[in-house]
Amino acid sequence: MDLAIAGKCALVTGASMGIGRAIAVALAKEGVKLAVVARRRDLLEQLQKETGKLAIIEQDFLAADAPQRIADAALAALVDKDGLFADVKGVFRGRDFGRATWTL
């Protein structure tokens, strides 16, 4: 299936296993430039061997600075002439991360 997203950028969290991994594999097959996040680097490296080039971000979401560290790493890895769009809303352990707005 061609979703016409080749060359676009994506950040996939929980990419070491389960649905996060499946999403990363599917996006890689579509030619999407990926940054993947999880706690277990070894599983992310295995994903990289299977899918090709991607940016690995080893990060535990329980860390207080996790959102900023992930954002910084993703921006460094993914930003190109097309930029990066992120619209993240969620509640994690009682903290509302709200909407992340980045100026490039």
- Mean pLDDT computed over 57-73: 90
Map tokens 């930029």 to a residue: 83
Higher pLDDT, 92 or 10: 10
Higher pLDDT, 10 or 46: 46
- Mean pLDDT computed over 82-97: 43
